[in-house]
Amino acid sequence: MRKAKWVAAAAGVVLLVAGCGSNDSSDKGGSNAKESGSTAGSEAGGGGAEAGGAELTADAVRTEIETAATGAGFAKSDRPENVPTGLEQCMVSWTPDAQKAADPKKSAAETVTALGKGGWKTEKTFSQSGSTITSLAKGTWQLKSSDHSAGPVKLVMFVATDTTPACEALFKADLEKNKKS
């Protein structure tokens, strides 16, 4: 039970981080690949406003994450997505079963690389105590890749949020609703 509480707390932190952050690339210690200019995602996943394609949908983002992650050696976890009701079109949470991956840290890094080849731009990477969090962006979507597989508990998560004004309003309303609960 203790492990489940820790996993739930970590998931909450990742979800909080996914909704926060800046796009100003002020993280001097991280990796900044904005100048990479890849447009491979335009053909593969519908592109995004930045790539001159149509806006990405939650289903398209989920498919891109799943394709990259399974190609890197992950299998999807049996746990349901941790997305609040009403935010399904604005948020995607994809969690692999990191315990079953041969090398979860390597698979997490390869997933980020594959997403980059699919048009996701790496904005920041933060590593500390064996954990790595990478922020990526594509169109109006922000994605946090969270790898905490170096310790005894193997936890890897991919959480994407749509930053359009409509979704931002839904996130704010959900936050306010939960404050009152």
| pLDDT tens digits, 103-129 | 999 999 999 999 999 999 999 999 999
pLDDT in tens, 139-181: 999 999 999 998 888 999 999 999 999 999 999 999 999 888 6
Say whether pLDDT at 39 is over 90: no
φ and ψ of 173, to 5 deg: -60, -40
What pLDDT sits at residue 164?
97
What pLDDT sits at residue 181?
67
Distance CA 12, CA 7 (A): 9
Is the Cβ–Cβ distance between 135 and 21 less than 8 Å?
yes
Is the Cβ–Cβ distance between 168 and 42 less than 8 Å?
no
Grouping H, G, I as helix, E, B as strand and the rest as coil, residue 91 is strand
Distance CA 160, CA 19 (A): 9
Q: Edge-to-edge strand order for the sheet containing 121-128?
A: 91-94, 155-162, 141-148, 131-138, 121-128
Which runs of consecutive H residues, i.e. helices, occur in 96-157? 104-117
What mean pLDDT do residues 87-96 have?
Answer: 96
What mean pLDDT do residues 20-34 have?
Answer: 36
Grouping H, G, I as helix, E, B as strand and the rest as coil, residue 40 is helix
Which of 33-47, 58-72, 150-164 has the highest average model confidence (pLDDT)? 58-72
Spatial CA neighbour of 146 closest among 91, 109, 121:
109
Q: Do β-strands 131-138 and 141-148 pair in parallel, antiparallel, or remain unpaired?
A: antiparallel
What pLDDT sits at residue 54?
60
What pLDDT sits at residue 151?
84
What pLDDT sits at residue 64?
98
Query: Which residue did the predictor score with more confidence, 119 or 22?
Result: 119
Spatial CA neighbour of 82 closest among 38, 36, 21, 144:
144
| Mean per-residue pLDDT over the chain, rounded | 78
Per domain, the residue ranges of the chain are 2-20+31-180
Spatial CA neighbour of 148 closest among 79, 69, 95, 71:
95
Say whether pLDDT at 50 is over 70: no
Distances in whole angstroms, Cα of residue 36 to Cα of each of 82, 150, 152: 31, 29, 35
152 DSSP 8-state letter: S
